[in-house]
Amino acid sequence: MKREEFTQSRFILTEGFEDCAFATAFVLFRNPRFPPMDIDSVDNVGESRGKEGFEDAIVAASDKRGFPAIDDVVLLTDNDEKPQDSFENVRAQIEQANKQLERKWAVPDRPGERADGNPSVSIWMWPESGTPGCMETLLWRVICAKYAALSDCIERASVCMEATKANKWPIQKIDKAKVRAFLALYNKRSPLVRFDVLWREHPTIFPIDRKEFNAFATFLRR
């Protein structure tokens, strides 16, 4: 469903629905002291999807009801294979969007740092600044630490990826595949666990209070 209005003064805009599901659960369950935030993905705000959709979503968001009350925005996106290139891509989209807006969004110089503007903006790159990968890269770390037997099984199965050349995929695609394989093996009653219900219906699979998520929690509190 397309977002039609904003009701809070803080807004998290994510690259995709997986990041949106995680951020929503994180803000709700990690720390009750987090201030209320509107959270949505680029494809629910604008017409474009994925990382290349930030420019369109920024322009579209600025026209929604309630946006004048937004003071702070967080953009959530993946580092993919080249973290600096991914970061510069998002920065460039903010700058392009600003050419179409009267209210100029801030353009951060570094990931994880807040730039003052109208609104202020910060960009969080998964799994963290400077590390190739995506949100699922962080989830895979949890799997390896919490579910060693299953993670070893999936790693051994990954050997067959050589036959299909999938071992040549970018790291973000490989980690996404591993996480989905884990979910299918772990949740035998319902192998097709959707991310939009993952933390609501299966909150103990990836507990929000895991230390792997501490850096993100510190960032949001700042």
222 residues of the chain, pLDDT tens digit each? 688 899 999 999 999 999 999 999 999 888 767 788 999 999 999 888 888 999 999 999 999 999 999 999 999 999 999 999 999 999 999 999 999 999 999 999 999 999 999 999 999 999 999 999 999 999 999 999 999 999 988 887 766 666 666 667 788 888 998 999 899 888 877 777 888 888 888 889 999 999 999 999 999 888
Tokens of 184: 């299918």
pLDDT of residue 164: 61
pLDDT of residue 133: 96
Structure-token match 């929604």, residue found? 64
Structure-token match 């920065």, residue found? 91
Residue 28: which H helix or E strand, with range? helix 17-29
pLDDT of residue 97: 97
pLDDT of residue 100: 95
pLDDT of residue 160: 66
Which 3-state string (H, E, C) describes 109-146? CCCCCCECCCCEEEEEEECCCCCCECHHHHHHHHHHHH
